[in-house]
Structure formats: structure tokens, C-alpha cells
Amino acid sequence: MKIIKYLSLALILVIGVSQCKLPDNIDPKHPTEVPYYTLFTNALVGMVNQTEETSVNLNIQRLTCQYWQETTYFDESRYLYQDRKIPDGFTREYYRDALMDFQEAKNMLMDENYGGDPDEAKNMIAIIDICEVYSYQVLVDAFGNVPYTEALMGFENSAPVYDDAAAIYNDLLARLRNDLVSLNADYGSFGTADVMYNGDVASWKRFAASLLLRVGMRLSDVDAGKAGVAAKDAESAGLFTDQSQSGFVYYPGVVPHINRIWEGFRAGRKDFLPTNTIVDMMLAKEDGRIGKYFTMVDTSSNAEVEKFVYLGAVAGLDGAQSYNNFSNFQARFFDPAFEANMIDYVEVEFLLAEAAQRGFGVSGSAADHYNAAIEASFAYWEAEGVAEYLTQNPYDAANWKQSIGEQKWLALYNRGVEGLTEWKRLDYPQLNVPEGMVYGDIPLRMPYPYNEVQQNKNNYEAASAAIGGDETSTPIFWDVVPSPFK
């Protein structure tokens, strides 16, 4: 009896173990393998969110380029990176939340066991690569030399070398050219998993060409020949020709998928204000977009000032400033579904204006592209008076960096990452000097992540030495023209 009892128990265990291995017993709510399209969506959202981020723990580029000023806590507006370890958060979000998932999704699609349409897979791999290029350009433009060839290796190599920034740029150009060849609009891609273009391959091709133009034009002052070829190649490949084609991501508007400004102001927070840098410039230029960007403030308590005026907070002030005493942001920015802008037609037209001015062989004149950029910006913000504005602020070929630099900075408002990068390269507009500082204290790069000193010391020290020192005053390799304001 005991033997039969034990045999029966063993049989039950065997049957139980065997049934646990059946496909019917796989829990669909707790998958052990994430699909490639889910990884792509997560990575794309991660890239977009970090580029648009308002948290001072992760991204302070709107503050650094003086679009915004802090109210109660003002250290980050004065370029204090260390207390919050902002560079650590900035790199973590791009490498961990974007690039790692992009890489894993690409690996799945390249796997020989991938069972889908090979032509669609080729498109999807190219789209992922374009997004990787975008992320790496942001990282290089922020830091200089960064981990690239040995990045994302995990436990296999947790102390990657830092690649030369110029070499990374050369590779990014090559990758974009390959991606443009690979994309085939006759086939599909990610479909609804693509939160930017809903899988439309032709749109991604225009995005890639426009990004090629941006990457190439960054090199204008260090390698005009390479920049000119990239500009012509980008134009030939097919750039954005209308704002509707731009790289916008429209948030659903439901937590957690919400505009990052809404997130930054949720729960009644009032941490940020527009600066006097941008408000005063827009007033001086009689810019019709000012009422689309900012609200007016009631200053009736001050008899020397008009009752309702546009008034920006003092950029870089070493002290708190009251949210209620200054202009605020218009309601459009607080819409939880307000779109994120990765690269757009306005930016492309400004780049073409510069390319034409530099004699790079693109079609159209610098003045025509300059005008088209401003017209498109006014139209996007639904602002009036663009004809009068262009009359008052015409293109000045003799001072083209100032013309393009100032107008591009104004048009890039709310896009802190790109606004700061182009300010560094073009040196315009002239920013305000923060209290107790000099103009040269305004950062030209972000310090390397502070945890690298402990976790990747040798490579950190080598990278620091290679770029001329891990200082905020060290320019990125493409920033070789000295500022006229220092």
C-alpha cells in the first residue's frame, strides 16, 4: 500500500510538472520576453521625454539657455550641476531608457529567427538606427566625448571607453546615409507602435534627411567641406517641406503619458518663469509670438510701470522670485496633450538659410529660407503680424550669424536642448550674465556624470584630458568660433 501511495504521489508530481511546461500555462499578464515593438515604443517615448524633460534632476537646458528661470530654488539656473547630479540623470535617461531598448529591439529584428516580413524588418531597423543617431548626437552635443563603441554592453563591459566626439559625428553621418538608402516606403514598419509617425516610412525618411542636415551643419566651422556635402545630400534625400511633416509626438494626455511641462507643474507647483532675456528681446523686436508664449502680468502696484505688461524674471538671479510678479506661460503649454517637437520644418529652414549663406550649394537664397523659417514659426504659434515683423527684422547677410542665431533661438523656444546647442555654435543671442558671474561662466558643456569618477575612473580621466578638461567652459569640438561677448 505504501508503495502504491508513493507511486501515486510521484505520478501526480510528474503530471503537475509536465503540465506546468505546457503553453496553456504561460501567464500572458507576466511575459518573460518583451516584444520588439514594445521595446521600440518604450525607447522612443524615453528619448522624447528626456529631450523635453523639465525636471531639474534630469534636464536643465531650458534654464541654461535662459528661456526659463527658477522661482524658489534657483541653483540650477546658476549652473549648479553637482548637488542633484544632473549629468548622471541626463545620461541615464538616454542610455538606459532609450538606447538600451532601441538596441534590444534592433537585435530582435536582426535575429535569424525573426519571423516577420524581412522588408518591414529592414525599415524598422533603419528607423531604430535613426533614433539612436538622434540620441547620440544629443549626448555628444552636451558632453563632448562619450561612450559609443563600447556603450550598452552591460556586465560584459561596465567601464566603457569614451569615443572621440568628432569620430562619433562621422559615424552618425554614415549611419544616417545608410538608413536613408535602407528605408523603402513601399513597405510598412512599426504601425501603431510608432508614436511619432504611426509607421509611415516616407515620414521617417524626411525625418532622417532633416536630421542629416542638422548633424552636418554642426560641423560647419570645423569641416566646411563635410558640412556642405551633408547639406546637399540631405536636400537631395528630401527634407521637411511643411510644418505638418515635422517630428512631433502628440501625448495622449493621460497620466503618465503627458506633456513634460504639465508634469513639471502638476500638484500646483510653480517652479519656473520666462526670463527677461527672451521677454525683453521679443518686446524689442515687436515679436507677435510673445502673446502666444507668455501671459501679461498686472503691475498696478508699481505706478512707474504700465498696468498689464510682459515682464520676465531676472535670468540667473542669486535669489528667489515670485511666480505672481512676472509673466507666466500661456495655457497651450499646460495642455497635458501638448506635442513634443524633436525636429521641425522651422529648424530645417534656418539650417538651409545658413547653408545657403555659407555657399554650400543648396537651393534657394539665405534670405528666402530665413523668411520661410520665421513665417512657419509664426504660423505654428498662430501669431499675427509676420509681414511687419520681417520688415522690422530683415535678414542681414553682413551679420548673418546674429540674424539667424537670434531668430532661431526665439523660434526654438521651449526646445531647451536644441536652443542651447545652437546658441553655443552660433554665439547668438547675447545672454544675460547671471548675478556675480561673467559671460564665460555660462556653460558650453555639461560636466561628465559624477559617478564616473568612482565607476569608470580611468576612462573618465582619459576623456577629460582628451577634451581639455571636464569643465563647463570646455567647448564641444564643433564650437571653435569664440563668442564676441566674452
Q: What is the pLDDT of residue 11?
A: 32
Retrieve residue 226's grid coordinates. Answer: 563635410
Alpha-carbon Rg for the chain, nearest whole angstrom, is: 25
The DSSP element (H or E) to which 69 belongs, if any, is strand 68-70
Q: What is the pLDDT of residue 4?
A: 31
State how far the Cα of 428 lies from the Cα of 422, in Å rounded to an integer: 8
58 and 424 in contact (C-beta within 8 Å)?
no
Q: What is the pLDDT of residue 23?
A: 44
Q: What is the pLDDT of residue 68?
A: 98
State how far the Cα of 105 lies from the Cα of 83, in Å rounded to an integer: 35
Please classify residue 1 by burial: count the beta carbons closer than 10 Å to its beta carbon, then call 0-12 exposed, 13-18 middle and 19+ buried. Answer: exposed
State how far the Cα of 417 lies from the Cα of 465, in Å rounded to an integer: 25
Cis bond upstream, residue 482 (ω within 30): no
The model's pLDDT over 38-82, given as tens digits with 9 standing for 90+, comes to 999 999 999 999 999 999 999 999 999 999 999 999 999 999 999
Q: What is the pLDDT of residue 300?
A: 82
The model's pLDDT over 414-472, given as tens digits with 9 standing for 90+, comes to 999 999 999 999 999 999 999 999 999 999 999 999 999 999 999 999 999 999 999 99
CA distances from 406 to 220, 281, 389, 429, 451 (A): 18, 9, 14, 5, 36
In 3D space, the residue among 142, 184, 147 whose CA is nearest the CA of residue 167 turns out to be 147
Q: Where are the domains of the chain?
A: 36-257+339-447
Q: What is the pLDDT of residue 8?
A: 36
Q: Which residues are CB-contacts of 324 (< 8 A; sequence separation ≥ 6)?
A: 297
Retrieve residue 15's grid coordinates. Answer: 503530471
Handedness of CA 87, 90, 93, 96 (dihedral sign): negative
pTM over 0.85: yes
Residue 450 phi, psi (nearest 5):
-70, -25
Would you say domain 36-257+339-447 falls under CATH 1.10.760.10? no
Q: Which residues are CB-contacts of 375 (< 8 A; sequence separation ≥ 6)?
A: 386, 390
In 3D space, the residue among 204, 234, 201 whose CA is nearest the CA of residue 216 turns out to be 234
β-sheet bridge partners, residue 340: 249
The SS3 assignment for 308 reads strand
CA angle 76, 139, 160 (to 5 degrees): 115
Q: Which residues are CB-contacts of 229 (< 8 A; sequence separation ≥ 6)?
A: 216
Retrieve residue 113's grid coordinates. Answer: 529567427
In 3D space, the residue among 148, 176, 313 whose CA is nearest the CA of residue 239 turns out to be 176
Q: What is the pLDDT of residue 32?
A: 53
152 and 103 in contact (C-beta within 8 Å)?
yes
Retrieve residue 267's grid coordinates. Answer: 500638484
In 3D space, the residue among 237, 184, 185, 190 whose CA is nearest the CA of residue 211 turns out to be 237
DSSP per residue, 216-275: HHHTTTT-HHHHHHHHHHHHHH----SGGGS-EE---SBTTB--HHHHHHGGG---EEEB
Cis bond upstream, residue 484 (ω within 30): no
Residue 273 phi, psi (nearest 5):
-140, 155
CA distances from 275 to 154, 291, 340, 352, 405 (A): 41, 14, 21, 29, 18
State how far the Cα of 335 lies from the Cα of 437, in Å rounded to an integer: 36
> Which residue is it, cell 530582435?
108
Q: What is the pLDDT of residue 17?
A: 35
State what percent of residues in the chain have pLDDT above 90: 88
State how far the Cα of 202 lies from the Cα of 207, in Å rounded to an integer: 9
The model's pLDDT over 14-38, given as tens digits with 9 standing for 90+, comes to 334 333 443 444 455 444 578 999 9
State how far the Cα of 91 lies from the Cα of 77, in Å rounded to an integer: 19
Each residue's pLDDT tens digit in the chain (486 positions)? 333 333 233 333 333 433 344 344 445 544 457 899 999 999 999 999 999 999 999 999 999 999 999 999 999 999 999 999 999 999 999 999 999 999 999 999 998 778 789 999 999 999 999 999 999 999 999 999 999 999 999 889 999 999 999 999 999 999 999 999 999 999 999 999 999 999 999 999 999 999 999 999 999 999 999 999 999 999 999 999 999 999 999 999 999 899 999 999 988 899 999 999 999 999 999 999 999 999 999 988 766 667 899 999 999 999 999 999 999 999 999 999 999 999 999 999 999 999 999 999 999 999 999 999 999 999 999 999 999 999 999 999 999 999 999 999 999 999 999 999 999 999 999 999 999 999 999 999 999 999 999 999 999 999 999 999 999 999 999 999 999 999
Q: What is the pLDDT of residue 6?
A: 31
Eight-state DSSP code of residue 312: P
